[in-house]
Chain A
Amino acid sequence: AQSVTQLDSQVPVFEEAPVELRCNYSSSVSVYLFWYVQYPNQGLQLLLKYLSGSTLVKGINGFEAEFNKSQTSFHLRKPSVHISDTAEYFCAVSDRSGFQKLVFGTGTRLLVSP
Chain B
Amino acid sequence: GAVVSQHPSWVICKSGTSVKIECRSLDFQATTMFWYRQFPKQSLMLMATSNEGSKATYEQGVEKDKFLINHASLTLSTLTVTSAHPEDSSFYICSASERRGADTQYFGPGTRLTVL
**What residues of chain A have their CB less than 8 Å away from a CB belonging to chain B?**
32, 34, 36, 41-46, 49, 51, 90, 94, 97-107
Contact = CB atoms under 8 A, between A and B. Distances in A.
Could you say which interface size class chain B belongs to? 20 to 34
A100 B43 contact: no
B51 to A, nearest CB: 8
Given A97-B101, A101-B34, A41 B112 contact: yes
B102 A100 contact: yes
Nearest to A52: B103
Contact of A49 (B46, B104, B107): B104
A105 B43 contact: yes
B108 A104 contact: no
A106 B42 CA distance: 6
25 contacts: A34-B104, A36-B107, A41-B110, A41-B112, A42-B110, A43-B4, A43-B107, A43-B109, A44-B44, A44-B93, A44-B107, A46-B104, A46-B107, A94-B103, A99-B32, A99-B57, A100-B97, A100-B102, A101-B34, A101-B49, A102-B46, A102-B105, A104-B43, A104-B44, A107-B42
A100 B101 CA distance: 6
